[in-house]
């Protein structure tokens, strides 16, 4: 029997409306509605087309609701915090919430083979919330102090941000890459089962801007736990973004060490003077100057002149070192899969059969290139050879 909720879930995951899917299948929108609500089952040729579109196996549409079966994570889509200039549409938010649900179902499947230590980011969040709710300091000071607490907790030294992504993953953040559009840099979310997620856009970005995205989203995870972002008006949304930006600047550039670096700069209003600092901290020149201005190290006229020069040099589009600094990519899930596959705790075939999807679907969902799976795909399709006969000549 065709299970309509599976179609609804995967359609929303891909961001398609019923009308868009109907046009792709060359059927009516009403037909898609009937499939999803159990009033009619699609013909086999329609199912085959849906398999191609969504890169799933045929049994996906005829099995128990996939998300409920594998432990739906109870995503509250109103809690998604976007790093974006605008509040995003309900359709986009719904699609990204579904993305987290599918990833959570995947994690529930592979975690049956693993034992994780307690998620330390949850511990850090509670420390930050306790500090903020008991401190009598002004909000700006609270946020900067929270950033200092977080940096120390994560075990980052005060000399660089090279290992930021690694330490976030190690301490418990689940970080993924995906195509989330040109207007969204990243987003973050706590699931109801206490998993912290950060989703990074996979458009080409510099290492420096990626670090800021990570720190910004960490700020949301720690400062804005269970804030209903979808209910915020434009003014409140900007305020929360500014708080996350303030956190990111203080987190990435520890005050004492940054001041020591900054006072040695020869021409503080010239963006090119910041290149060595960018190489050290892996933070954009623009963010370095903004941090200096916020600390009172740059006067208004100096900061204004800096931004004029920044714009004239085209650095708001691309800065020096953007093509040279290595962009760090999420590695925890890749390493977990490699462990499971190499140790034969779980095979790629079993995983794909359990998920009822093709490799392309898994690659897109996890943000891991297809080449990673090729080695294990070859093992799936191994053919019998002479060496397998295990026969010796007399």
Percentages (nearest 5) of helix, strand, coil residues in the chain: 60, 5, 35
**pLDDT confidence of residue 364:** 94
Q: Per the CATH hierarchy, to which homologous superfamily does domain 1-69 belong? A: lambda repressor-like DNA-binding domains (1.10.260.40)
CA distance 218 to 196: 9
Query: pTM of the full predicted structure?
Result: 0.90
Residue 111 has a pLDDT of 85
At 80 the pLDDT is: 83
Angle (CA) 278 242 256, round 5°: 45
Position 229 scores a pLDDT of 84
pLDDT of residue 292: 97
Which H or E element spans position 84? strand 81-84
Give the per-residue pLDDT at 383.
54
Segments making up each domain of the chain, as ranges: 1-69, 71-247, 253-329, 332-389
Q: What percent of the chain has pLDDT over 90?
A: 76
Residues forming a β-bridge with 83: 186
- pLDDT (tens digit per residue) in 226-245: 898 888 888 998 999 999 99
Q: 13-38 b/e with 16+ CB inside 10 Å = b?
A: bbebebeebbeebebeeebbebbbee
First to last CA, the chain: 58
Q: How far apart are CA 195 and CA 9, in angstroms?
A: 21
Average pLDDT of 110-131? 90
Instruction: Report the alpha-carbon distance of residue 46 to residue 127 in Å, rounded.
Output: 53
């Amino acid at each position: 029997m065709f299970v309509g909720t599976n179609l609804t879930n995967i359609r929303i995951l891909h961001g398609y409306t019923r009308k868009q899917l109907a046009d792709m299948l060359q059927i009516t929108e009403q037909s898609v509605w009937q499939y999803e609500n159990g009033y009619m089952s699609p013909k086999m040729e329609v199912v085959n087309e849906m398999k191609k579109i969504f890169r799933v196996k045929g049994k996906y549409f005829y099995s128990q609701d996939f998300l409920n079966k594998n432990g739906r994570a109870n995503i509250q889509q109103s809690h998604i915090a976007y790093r974006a200039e605008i509040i995003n549409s309900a359709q986009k938010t719904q699609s990204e919430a579904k993305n987290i649900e599918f990833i959570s179902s995947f994690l529930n499947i592979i975690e049956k083979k693993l034992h994780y230590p307690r998620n330390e980011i949850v511990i850090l969040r509670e420390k930050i919330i306790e500090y903020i709710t008991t401190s009598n300091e002004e909000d700006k000071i609270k946020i900067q102090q929270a950033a200092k607490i977080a940096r120390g907790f994560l075990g980052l030294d005060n000399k660089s941000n090279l290992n930021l992504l690694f330490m976030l993953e190690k301490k418990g953040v689940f970080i993924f890459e995906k195509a989330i559009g040109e207007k969204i840099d990243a987003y973050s979310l706590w699931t109801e089962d206490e998993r912290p997620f950060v989703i990074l856009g996979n458009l080409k970005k510099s290492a420096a801007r990626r670090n800021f995205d990570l720190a910004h989203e960490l700020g949301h995870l720690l400062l804005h736990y269970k804030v209903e972002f979808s209910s915020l008006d434009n003014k409140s949304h900007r305020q929360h973004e500014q708080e996350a930006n303030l956190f990111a600047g203080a987190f990435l550039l520890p005050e004492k060490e940054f001041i020591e670096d900054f006072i040695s700069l020869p021409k503080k209003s010239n963006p090119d003077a910041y290149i060595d600092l960018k190489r050290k901290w892996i933070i954009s020149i623009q963010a370095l100057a903004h941090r200096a201005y916020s600390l009172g190290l740059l006067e208004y006229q100096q900061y204004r002149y800096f931004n004029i020069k920044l714009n004239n040099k085209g650095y708001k589009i691309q800065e020096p070192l953007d093509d040279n600094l290595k962009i760090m990519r999420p590695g925890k899930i890749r390493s977990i899969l490699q462990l499971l596959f190499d140790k034969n705790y779980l095979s790629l075939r079993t995983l794909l059969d359990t998920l009822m999807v093709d490799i392309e679907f898994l690659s897109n969902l996890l943000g891991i290139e297809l080449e990673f799976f090729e080695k294990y795909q070859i093992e799936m399709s191994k053919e019998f050879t002479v060496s397998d006969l295990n026969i010796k000549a007399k």
